[in-house]
Amino acid sequence: MSVQWLPILPSELLQNAEVLKVLINGKEVVVWRSVSGHVQIWENRCPHRSVRLSLGHVDGENLVCAYHGWEFAAQDGSCQKIPAQPEQRAPKSVCSKAYPVSENNGMIWFGGFDLELRPEPLAQQILSLKIIPVHYAGSVLIHCTMDEVTEFLQHLHFRQTSPCGFLGDDDFADVQLFLTPTDAEKTTLHALQPQAETVQRSLDSLFQIRQQIEEHQYAVL
Ligand code: FES
């Protein structure tokens, strides 16, 4: 069974040395970028005492837990440092759970919760649009499922470029939309577009699309 890559966060929202919490299909993950710019998506739970890693901070290429300061390496999630026992090496089993991650076309992509199922390379699942540079316009939370949002975007004649990606036409020319399944009832819609000057227009389009989708859903209830 092939695993589908999900776009979860615009790259511009995660600066170097920044840590964020993101909800994917109702499960929390911590998304962080090391000082050198590498992005990680990990289970949002410290392997020591289960504190949320999203409360921590970045130190170089490590994520530091906010509670006892244990440090976990971007490279493989292994524990590199225990401040209370500086002479002691952490057992290999003390390791953060790292999920497959990729960065492409201005978005950070998540490769699934099941570590037994490795996803196909991202390039095989998405139609690369080669629009460079891309500018982040905004994100909105929509109180509809991903299927409902997808159906409505098709109705608005957005061209589907991946299972969760769309390219606009006519009123929404060159606007790229990406969908994140936030939980069973909500979807986050992110907008990117090629010209920095028209970011505000794309943001307005995004609010307009959300209003239309939610009004449509209430109308058919
Ligand atoms: S709970 Fe994270 S270091 Fe102790």
Which ligand 1 atom is nearest residue 46's CA?
2
pLDDT of residue 44: 98
pLDDT of residue 221: 42
pLDDT of residue 15: 97
CA of 99 to the centre of ligand 1 (A): 20
Q: How far apart are CA 211 and CA 208, in angstroms?
A: 5
Q: Which domains does the chain have, with CATH numbers?
A: 6-124 (2.102.10.10), 135-220 (3.30.310)
Is the CB of residue 70 below 6 angstroms from any atom belonging to ligand 1? yes
Which ligand 1 atom is nearest residue 50's CA?
1
107 contact partners, CB below 8 Å, separation of at least 6: 7, 8, 9, 10, 11, 178, 190, 192
Q: How far apart are CA 151 and CA 24, in angstroms?
A: 20
3-state secondary structure (DSSP) of residue 135: strand
pLDDT of residue 203: 82
Q: Indicate which residue's Cα is closest to atom 1 of ligand 1.
A: 49
Beta strand segments in the chain, E: 6-10, 19-24, 27-33, 39-43, 57-59, 62-64, 71-73, 79-81, 98-99, 101-104, 107-110, 135-142, 159-162, 165-167, 176-181, 187-193
pLDDT of residue 118: 81
3-state secondary structure (DSSP) of residue 5: coil
pLDDT of residue 104: 86
pLDDT of residue 130: 53
pLDDT, tens digit, for every residue of 57-112?
999 999 999 999 999 999 899 999 999 988 888 888 899 999 999 998 889 999 99
Calculate ∠ Cα 28-85-46, nearest 5°: 5
Is the CB of residue 48 below 6 angstroms from any atom belonging to ligand 1? yes
Q: Is 88 exposed, middle or buried (0-12, 13-18, 19+ CB in 10 A)?
A: exposed
Which ligand 1 atom is nearest residue 65's CA?
2
- Write out residues in the chain with pLDDT < 50, as ranges: 221
Contact 84, 78 (CB under 8 A): no
